[in-house]
C-alpha cells in the first residue's frame, strides 16, 4: 500500500500536470470500488477546472472550480496513469506499484483533458473516489484523524498526551490514523529503529526521551523518504521513469537475520508479526 511519502510524490506529479486544466469528460467502467462511485461523479467533474491538488495523510484532494472537492485514495493496489494522446510507449505511472505503463485490465476511471487523460487502475478495488460538496463536509470527514506526522501539530506535547496510560503497543499506535496520520507499516518499522524502541513496547512505558525521539524521527524518516522519491519495493517508475530510492536506506525493513547496522551492536534483525503486519527490529538495541 502506498504510504504518505509515496502519495506525496503522486500528488506532486499529478499537480504538475492537471492544475488549472479543464476536465473535458469522465468515463467510468466500474463504479464498484471500495465505496460505490456516486451517481453525480461524472457531472460534478465535467467542465470544471482543477484549482489545486493537495494531500492529507494518504489522501489526494482535488479542488474544483465549482467549489466542490474530489477525494482520492489509492487503497492497496490503486495507481494513477497519465496517458498523453500524442505519445505512445512512454511511462504513464504516477504511482508506485505494478506496471510502469498503462495496464490493459482494471482501468476503472478515465478523466479526460484536452491533451491527455488520467486513468485510475485498481486490480483489488480497495481505493475510492468521493465527491464532497463543500469544505465543511470535507473537514468533517477527517475530523477523527490525528495530525500528520510531518506537521507542527505532531509535537511532544500532543504525543505525550496520547501515550499516557495506553496499553496499545507503540507500533500499532503509530499505525493508528486516529492518533497520527500518514505513517504506514514500512515507515513505522524504520522510525522505531531510529528511536531504538522495541515495536512491542507499550505506549504507557514510553519515556520522555523516547517521546521526543518519536516526534523527531517520524518527521526525519518521512521527509527523507519524500526527498528520495518514496520506496520502490516493487516495480515502480514515476512519470519520468525514475524509481523511488528510499528502499536503499532501509535499516530494518526486509532485513530479517541480517546484522544490525548500529555501530558496536552485535544484534540481528528479527521479524515478527504484529496485528498481521511484518515487523522488523534489532533484537538487541531496540528496547
Q: Give the closest residue to 233 by CA, choosing from 215, 256, 220, 250.
A: 250
Predicted pLDDT at 101: 84
Are 135 and 215 found together in one domain?
no
Return the percentage of the chain with pLDDT > 90, whole number.
79
Return the percentage of the chain with pLDDT > 70, whole number.
91
Q: Give the closest residue to 187 by CA, choosing from 11, 28, 4, 56.
A: 4
In the DSSP assignment, the letter for residue 204 is G
Are 137 and 187 found together in one domain?
no
Question: Virtual CA dihedral for 237, 184, 199, 189, nearest 10 degrees?
Answer: 20
Predicted pLDDT at 66: 96
Does some domain include residue 43? Answer: yes
Weakest-pLDDT range from 93-102, 181-190, 263-272, 277-286: 93-102
| CATH number assigned to the domain comprising residue 60 | 3.20.190.10
Owning domain of residue 19: 4-141
The mean pLDDT value of the chain amounts to 91
Q: Which residues are catalytic?
A: 2-3, 58, 277
Are 11 and 126 found together in one domain?
yes
Does some domain include residue 150? Answer: no
What does residue 187 show for φ and ψ, rounded to 5 degrees? -75, -30
283 pLDDT above the threshold of 60: yes
241 pLDDT above the threshold of 50: no
State the residue for C-alpha cell 527490529: 281
What is the pLDDT averaged over residues 23-42? 97
Are 228 and 275 found together in one domain?
yes
Strands (E), 57-212: 59-64, 69-73, 79-84, 107-112, 116-121, 128-132
User: pLDDT grade, residue 140 (50/70/90)?
Assistant: very high
Distance, CA of 217 to CA of 236 (rounded, Å)? 26
Amino acid at each position: 500500500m502506498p504510504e504518505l511519502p509515496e502519495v506525496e510524490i503522486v500528488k506532486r506529479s499529478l499537480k504538475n500536470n492537471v492544475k488549472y486544466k479543464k476536465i473535458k469528460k469522465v468515463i467510468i467502467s466500474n463504479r464498484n470500488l471500495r465505496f460505490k462511485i456516486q451517481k453525480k461523479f461524472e457531472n460534478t467533474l465535467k467542465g470544471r477546472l482543477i484549482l489545486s491538488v493537495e494531500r492529507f495523510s494518504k489522501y489526494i484532494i482535488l479542488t474544483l472550480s465549482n467549489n466542490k472537492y474530489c477525494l482520492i485514495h489509492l487503497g492497496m493496489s490503486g495507481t494513477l496513469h497519465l496517458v498523453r494522446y500524442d505519445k505512445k510507449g512512454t511511462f504513464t505511472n504516477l504511482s508506485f506499484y505494478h506496471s510502469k505503463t498503462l495496464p490493459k485490465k482494471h482501468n476503472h476511471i478515465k478523466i479526460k483533458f484536452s491533451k491527455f487523460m488520467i486513468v485510475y487502475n485498481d486490480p483489488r478495488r480497495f481505493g475510492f473516489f468521493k465527491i464532497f460538496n463543500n469544505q465543511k463536509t470535507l473537514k468533517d470527514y477527517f475530523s477523527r484523524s490525528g495530525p500528520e506526522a510531518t506537521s507542527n501539530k505532531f509535537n511532544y506535547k500532543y504525543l505525550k498526551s496520547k501515550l499516557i496510560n495506553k496499553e496499545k503497543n507503540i507500533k500499532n499506535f503509530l499505525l493508528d490514523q486516529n492518533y497520527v496520520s500518514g505513517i504506514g507499516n514500512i515507515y513505522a518499522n524504520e522510525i522505531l529503529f531510529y528511536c531504538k524502541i522495541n515495536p512491542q513496547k507499550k505506549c504507557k512505558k514510553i519515556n520522555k526521551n523516547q517521546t521526543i525521539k518519536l516526534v523527531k524521527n517520524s518527521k526525519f524518516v518521512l521527509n527523507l523518504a519524500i526527498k528520495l522519491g518514496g520506496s520502490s519495493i516493487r516495480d515502480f517508475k514515476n512519470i519520468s521513469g525514475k524509481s523511488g530510492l528510499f528502499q536503499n536506506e532501509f535499516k530494518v525493513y526486509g532485513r530479517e537475520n541480517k546484522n544490525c547496522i548500529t555501530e558496536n551492536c552485535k544484534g540481528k534483525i528479527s521479524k515478527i508479526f504484529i496485528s498481521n503486519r511484518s515487523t522488523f527490529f534489532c533484537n538487541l538495541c531496540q528496547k
